[in-house]
Structure formats: C-alpha cells, structure tokens
C-alpha cells in the first residue's frame, strides 16, 4: 500500500474543512473527491460505482513519506532539575517480555536509564552499563526496584514482590555518573525524531517516587513493603481520574505529568488483592500504568492539504481518491447533514465496528474449521504482519501478548476502504458490505442522510428526531451505553429501525470525552472473543463502566432488536424460508411482489442472505412474544457453531446441522408502545443479497416494502 492516508475528522458536514494526512514515496499525488453509491461487483476488488465530485476537490499535491509515532510512554516534570544530587528512585515494575534481547527502559533521567535486557536488570549511562543484576527478572511478576545515585556511586536494590521466590538482590558500584535532568521518563530512554519512545518498555510501572537522600536499610525495607512514610520529593497521583492523560503531581507547585500515545490505565497494580475487580472501588490498587512498544492512538502525521465542503453538498458516503502512477486508493469521508436538515432515512454508519476491526491481524489465526474456502490474504493486509506502524485492532493482542483495548481512526486504516477484500468470507465484510446497503438505498430512490456512531453519541436525540427510520449497517457490533439509551428513547417515542445486519449491539464500547477518535473495548470473560480481559481489568476507564457483552449487562440485543447473536461461520450461506406470519398475518402485506417461498438464497457474500454471523429470535433472551417471525434460515452447515455464551459445558455437536434450533437467523418485525417499529434480519451477509441482480430480487422487494411502510405517513400494517 504505497499511498497511505487518514482524515483528521472522518465525519464532516457541509461548510466544514476536511484535512488529510498522506504518506507516500511518490513525488506527487492527485487528489479528487467522489461519492460512493454502490458496493463492489463480485470479483471487483477496486471499487463500485462512484459519482464524480471533482468540482469540490481536484488537485495535485506533493508526496512525502511521514514517520509514525509508535509506542507509549509517560513524562513527569520534576520539582527542579537534578544535577549532582543524591537521589533515590523507587518504582514497582511488571515486565511482560523481559527475555527479549533488546533494551527496554523502565525509566530514564537524562542519560541514566534503568533497563531490562535478556532477563537482566541493568543501570546504564548512554551506551555504558554501570551495574547489572543478572538473571533476576521473569515475565508477569511484580518487582520492587530502588535505585540510588550520588557521590559517584550507584546501587540497585531488587525484590520480587510475592516474597516467596527469588532472592532479594542488591548491587552497588562506583560509576562516576550522575543524573542530570528535569523530567522523569517512564517506559523509554528518550524520544526519537518521530516522537516514538526509544528502547520502549513492555509492561506495567506502579507509583514512581523520588527522594533526595540515600535511604537507610530500614527505609529500603519499608519501600519494598510499600510502607515508606518518608515524604517524597517527587510523586504523582496515579490512583484518581483514570480517564485522564494528565497526571496530577503530589508535590507543591508541580506541573502535571503526561501520558503519551495510548498508555493504559485502570490496570491492576502491585497491591491488587483480588477482592474487587474495579478501580472505582479500590483506586489505590490501580496505580499502575501499562505500556506497549506498539501502542498507537495517533500516528502524529502532519496534514498535507485541506478543502472546504460546499454548503450544498448532499449527505452521503464520499471518498478522497489519491492517485499516483499505477497506484490508486480511496479514503472514506462521511458527510452528515447540516443541523435541522431532514430526510426519511438515516443510515447509521457502524464506525465503532470499523475501528474495532481496524488493521486486524486475524489472518494469522487458523479458521480452517469454519471456512472451507482457501484463505487468500490481501497483500496490503500482509503488510501489517511485519509493520507495527499502522497499529492493531481490538481483536488483536500486542506484541507482548496482552490485549489491545484501544483503537483509533487517526492512522491509516487498511481495511476501511471500498472494495477491500476479506479473506474470511472470500469476498467482503464491513465497509464494503455496508456499501451494498447504500447501493440498495440508491436503487429504492429514497432520500437518506448518513451519520457515524460518533455523531450519534454526540448529537443524540437532536439527530434521531429528524428521521422517520434509522437503517443500520451490516455489523453494528460495538455500542456505547449512551448510544443504546438514545436509540431506546427514539424507538419508545415512535421511531423505527431497520437492523440490516448481524451480531449487532454486542460489545460494550466507550468513547473518550475530548478524544472521540479513540474507542475502548474491554472484553469480559464471556462472549465469543479473541482474548480474555485480565483479571481485575474489565472496567472501562473512559466511562467507568463494566466491559463485556451487553447481554451480561442485562441488555441483550433481543430486547431491542428481537434477535441476538447465535452463531458464526464462513461456509456457504443460505436464504430464509418464509413462515406462516408472512402469509397469514397483517405482516403479509410486506411480501407484496415477493413470489419466492425461500428468499435470499443468493448474494455477493457467501452466496446467501444468511451467513457470516447470525442472530436468532429467542423469547428467553428478551425477544418480544408479540413479534411477527416472518422467516427463518433454511439451514447452515456445521462450520457455523453456537456462540460460547449459550454453552455452560464443553459439548460436541453444536454446529448448524446438529443444532438448527439454536444456530439460525430469523426475520422479525414488531411494534413498540408509543408507535415505534423494529425490523431485524439477523445476518451480516444480508446486504450482499439485497444488491444481488441489480437489487432486482425478492429480498430487495420485501425490504423496500418495509422501508416504505416505516417511512410512510399511514399505519405500518394498516392498523387503525
């Protein structure tokens, strides 16, 4: 991918200025604006139909390569510069990969750094090792480390915190070195030209403190035990304001410390005793900071150009097309309508899902048992495996094996582009499938606006009240509590929703106040997932809410949508067999023009409207008993397995052919008191079937009938 780019804000409204950052080896780049109005045709991995908007943007800009800030660190200004003073610096450290042969700096003061390398703890001055404690450090254990410098001498006092294994070790040497600095850096020995930490540390650091005296033996023991009563010259309040990146100093007149590029808070500290699993209840047990050498929540690129969106630009999904030589890439821009503008339909772009999956490394896993087709990983995606710069997804673990809990849009997003192929389905997923829904809306000819998950949370009911119907994307999986509350209120006061996807409204998600380009996901130890939350680290720092799946929080999607996640698999999809309610109930009117008894047994994704991840109607989970169940999937293969949260024991024979009662997708329609209505399809691949044959098919006609009923002025089903 020799043209990479990202927007400062990927949702704008007419009159806004859009700014784009670009990195490319090409000397010049042509930039133009297009509107995306269709999904990709089968086998076309470039783009679908577009409408030219070069009247808004068509220019050539200089190309350049930009460097990315990768890795997290912290910087803490000291009360005064250290110069030729005796100092003692204590902290607790929990390294995750101490066996690495590369230097990892726990902290640094100017040229002096405390590092781990090959399992050894060492004190270094520039490129010189001053003192070493060999073979002392193992992964994922807490260590109390006290370093004293002064009078040309240095000492390291190391104690493993559990007190059960590992000797208490001390080494003292004559060095001639002194620390000279006005800032304490954590997790780095210095800052490189790109802003990245040098010799970055992987692991946790808890409660660094500095004293201007050489400690006595009693004070050393008290320090290791966490009971030192001596007033520190410099310390910081790490047990409060867990969403903040500014850390309040615990000394008079101090300047706040700063966390850089995704340092994690709300992680268990050296004194966590397991009696509570949240920093809300025991903040003093959560004074640790966690660092990774591949953290990244802002690439830190300079913006190369900007352009103004005309006041008359219609709401929709656009893209800036960047071209150079034989290369061409498209970078989506979501243009919402101006405040007060109305339309019958709001298409809610599932950008939280895009971010959760952004630049995922899932292709490195073995999915052969649930996808019989050959795994063909796009070349652009393979680039991610050997380059940490674009960052990771919330489905990945960091290079040290700990979970990725933050994802950002201020970086190049390789898999959020039109026509980007997906190895899991052998065709498309996410943004590209959502474009099939856009293609269908264009075909129906109804006016629609678009808004992102971020817009939805920010603008709330002021946004939703402008639309008769909300249409979702194919995989609206990641929802905030505030977002659910907004949608609940909208439906309870007469709003309508067409849930045209699967595995929706599943994971608890948070956005940071003042930093909405970053989402936070902390997976509980339930739900179908790629990693487990470490014990005690389920609570989101952005909102102080428990993470996990909404079903575990009492908000199963069945309650709002009528269906909830049932199964996933990536073999051949299928259609829906019409049930009695589609013939002999008031809802039969929605099947006008639909002659098939099985609808949707076709499509651009897995060959059917039902596939990928699917949802079922289940009264036990909150599906309303008064709902019209219009159709059910005709049958999925054993590649489709029952979701983990439906199992309490490890049992065989949980596939689609063996458990069709549970592994299925259902078409559901139901009213809500107050005039609201819900239509749910429970399948990610539905959009690929909507667009099949130029949108001329029975499933498309059914869905268009629902849309017409939801947006019309009369009763939905002829009610009085």
| Mean pLDDT, contiguous 10-residue spans, the chain (720 residues) | 96 98 98 96 65 98 97 97 90 98 97 96 91 90 94 90 70 77 97 94 98 90 85 95 96 93 98 96 98 97 98 98 95 97 99 98 89 89 92 97 98 96 94 97 98 98 98 99 98 98 98 96 89 93 97 97 97 98 98 97 97 98 98 96 88 82 97 96 98 97 99 82
What pLDDT was estimated at residue 720?
A: 35
Q: Quick check: 666 and 682 in contact, CB under 8 A?
A: yes
Domain boundary among 291, 315, 344: 291
What pLDDT was estimated at residue 46?
A: 52
C-alpha to C-alpha distance for 177 and 175, rounded to whole angstroms: 5
The reply to whether 226 falls in a domain is: yes
Residues 81 and 203 in one domain: yes
The reply to whether 471 falls in a domain is: no
Burial of 105 (0-12, 13-18, 19+ CB in 10 A): buried
What pLDDT was estimated at residue 525?
A: 78
What pLDDT was estimated at residue 47?
A: 62
Taking phi over 0 as left and psi of -120 to 50 as alpha, with beta for the rest, 163 belongs to: left
Would you state the structure tokens that stand for residue 586, as one six-digit string? 């008031």
Residues 61 and 148 in one domain: no
Residues 130 and 37 in one domain: no
Q: What is the 3-state secondary structure (H, E, C) of 481-543?
A: HHHHHHHHHHHHCCCEEEECCCCCCCEECEEECCEEEEEECCCCCCCCCCCCCCCCCCECCCC
Closest alpha carbon to 60 in 38, 90, 34, 27: 27
Q: Any bridge partners for residue 180, and if so which?
A: 83
The reply to whether 144 falls in a domain is: yes
Residues 189 and 237 in one domain: yes
Q: What are the φ and ψ backbone dihedral angles of 193, each rounded to 5 degrees? A: -60, -30
Q: Quick check: 334 and 388 in contact, CB under 8 A?
A: no
CATH of the domain at 31: 2.60.40.1930
The reply to whether 389 falls in a domain is: no
Would you state the structure tokens that stand for residue 616, as one six-digit string? 């079922």
Residues 186 and 326 in one domain: no
Residues 95 and 9 in one domain: no
Residues 131 and 257 in one domain: yes
Residues 110 and 226 in one domain: yes
Residues 142 and 15 in one domain: no
Domain boundary among 335, 354, 389: 335
Residues 162 and 216 in one domain: yes
If one counts the domains in the chain, the total is: 2
The reply to whether 406 falls in a domain is: no
DSSP string, 53-64: -TTT-EEEEE--
CATH of the domain at 165: 2.60.120.200
Helices and strands, number each (H, E), in the chain: 10, 43
Residues 109 and 210 in one domain: yes
Residues 22 and 109 in one domain: no
Task: Name every residue whose Cβ is closer than 8 Å to that of residue 677 and which is 6 or more positions away in sequence.
Answer: 496, 497, 669, 670, 671, 710, 716
Q: Is 319 helix (H, G, I), strand (E, B) or coil?
A: strand
C-alpha to C-alpha distance for 75 and 212, rounded to whole angstroms: 19
DSSP string, 92-124: EEEES-TT-SS-EEEEEETTEEEEEETTEEEEE
Q: Quick check: 41 and 482 in contact, CB under 8 A?
A: no
Give the domain extent around 26. Answer: 4-67+303-335
What pLDDT was estimated at residue 454?
A: 98
The reply to whether 447 falls in a domain is: no
Closest alpha carbon to 233 in 251, 256, 260, 215: 251
Q: What is the 3-state secondary structure (H, E, C) of 163-210?
A: CCCCCCEEEEEECCCCCEEEEEEECCCEECCCCCEECCCCEEEEEEEE
What pLDDT was estimated at residue 92?
A: 98
The reply to whether 380 falls in a domain is: no
The reply to whether 537 falls in a domain is: no
C-alpha to C-alpha distance for 226 and 603, rounded to whole angstroms: 63
């Amino acid at each position: 991918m020799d043209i990479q780019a990202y927007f400062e804000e990927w949702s704008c409204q007419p009159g806004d200025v859009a700014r784009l950052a670009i990195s490319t080896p090409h000397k010049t780049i042509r930039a133009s604006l297009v509107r995306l109005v269709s999904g990709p045709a089968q086998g076309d991995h470039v783009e679908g139909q577009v409408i030219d908007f070069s009247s808004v943007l068509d220019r050539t800009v200089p190309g350049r390569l930009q460097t990315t800030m990768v890795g997290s660190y912290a910087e803490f200004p000291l009360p005064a510069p250290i110069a030729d003073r005796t100092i003692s610096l204590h902290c607790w450290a929990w390294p995750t990969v101490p066996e690495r042969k590369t230097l990892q700096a726990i902290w640094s003061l100017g040229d002096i750094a405390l590092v781990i390398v090959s399992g050894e703890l060492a004190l270094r001055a520039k490129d010189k090792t001053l003192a070493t404690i060999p073979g002392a450090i193992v992964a994922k254990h807490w260590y109390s480390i006290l370093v004293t410098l002064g009078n040309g001498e240095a000492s390291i006092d190391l104690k493993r915190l559990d007190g059960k294994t590992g000797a208490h070790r001390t080494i003292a040497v004559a060095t001639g070195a002194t620390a000279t600095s006005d800032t304490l850096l954590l997790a780095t020995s210095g800052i490189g030209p790109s802003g990245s930490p040098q010799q970055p540390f992987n692991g946790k650091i808890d409660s660094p403190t500095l004293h201007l005296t050489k400690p006595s033996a009693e004070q050393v023991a008290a320090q290791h035990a966490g009971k030192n009563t001596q007033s520190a010259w410099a310390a910081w309040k790490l047990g409060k304001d867990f969403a903040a990146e500014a850390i309040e100093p615990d000394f008079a007149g101090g300047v706040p410390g700063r966390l850089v590029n995704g340092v994690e808070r709300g992680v268990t500290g050296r004194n966590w005793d397991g009696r509570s699993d949240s920093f809300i209840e025991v903040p003093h047990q959560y004074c640790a900071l966690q660092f990774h050498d591949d953290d990244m929540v802002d690439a830190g690129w300079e913006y190369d150009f900007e352009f103004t969106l005309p006041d008359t630009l219609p709401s929709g999904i656009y893209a800036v097309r960047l071209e150079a030589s034989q290369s061409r890439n498209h970078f989506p821009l979501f243009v919402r309508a101006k405040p007060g503008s109305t339309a019958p339909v709001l298409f809610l772009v599932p950008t939280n899902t895009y971010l959760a999956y952004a630049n995922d490394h899932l292709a490195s896993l073995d999915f052969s048992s649930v996808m019989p087709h050959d795994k063909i990983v796009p070349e652009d995606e393979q680039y991610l495996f050997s380059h940490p710069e674009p960052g990771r997804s919330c489905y990945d673990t960091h290079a040290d094996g700990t979970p990725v809990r933050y994802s950002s849009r201020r970086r190049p997003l390789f898999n959020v582009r039109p026509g980007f192929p997906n190895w899991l389905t052998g065709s498309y997923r996410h943004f590209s499938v959502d474009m099939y829904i856009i293609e269908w809306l264009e075909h129906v000819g109804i006016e629609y606006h678009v808004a992102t998950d971020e817009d939805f949370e920010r603008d709330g009911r002021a946004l939703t009240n402008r639309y008769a119907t909300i249409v979702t994307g194919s995989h609206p999986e990641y929802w905030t509590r505030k977002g659910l509350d907004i949608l609940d209120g909208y439906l309870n006061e007469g709003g309508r929703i067409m849930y045209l996807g699967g595995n929706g409204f599943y994971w608890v998600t948070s956005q940071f106040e003042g930093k909405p380009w970053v989402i936070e996901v902390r997976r509980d130890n339930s739900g179908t997932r790629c990693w487990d939350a470490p014990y005690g680290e389920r609570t989101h720092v952005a909102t102080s809410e428990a993470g996990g799946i909404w079903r575990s929080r009492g908000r199963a999607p069945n309650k709002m949508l009528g269906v909830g996640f049932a199964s996933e698999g990536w073999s051949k999809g299928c259609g829906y067999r019409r049930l009695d309610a589609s013939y002999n109930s008031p809802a039969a009117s929605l099947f006008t023009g639909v002659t098939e008894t099985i609808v949707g047994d076709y499509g651009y994704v897995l060959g059917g409207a039902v596939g990928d991840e699917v949802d079922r109607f289940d009264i036990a989970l909150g599906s309303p008993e008064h709902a019209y169940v219009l159709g059910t999937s005709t049958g999925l293969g054993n590649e489709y397995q029952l979701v983990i949260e439906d199992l309490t024991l490890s049992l065989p024979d949980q596939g689609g052919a063996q458990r069709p009662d549970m592994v299925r997708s259902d078409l559901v329609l139901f009213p809500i008191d107050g005039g609201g209505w819900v239509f749910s399809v429970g399948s990610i691949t539905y959009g690929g079937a909507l667009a099949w044959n130029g949108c001329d098919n029975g499933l498309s006609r059914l869905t268009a009938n629902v849309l017409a009923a939801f947006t019309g002025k009369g009763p939905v089903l002829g009610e009085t």
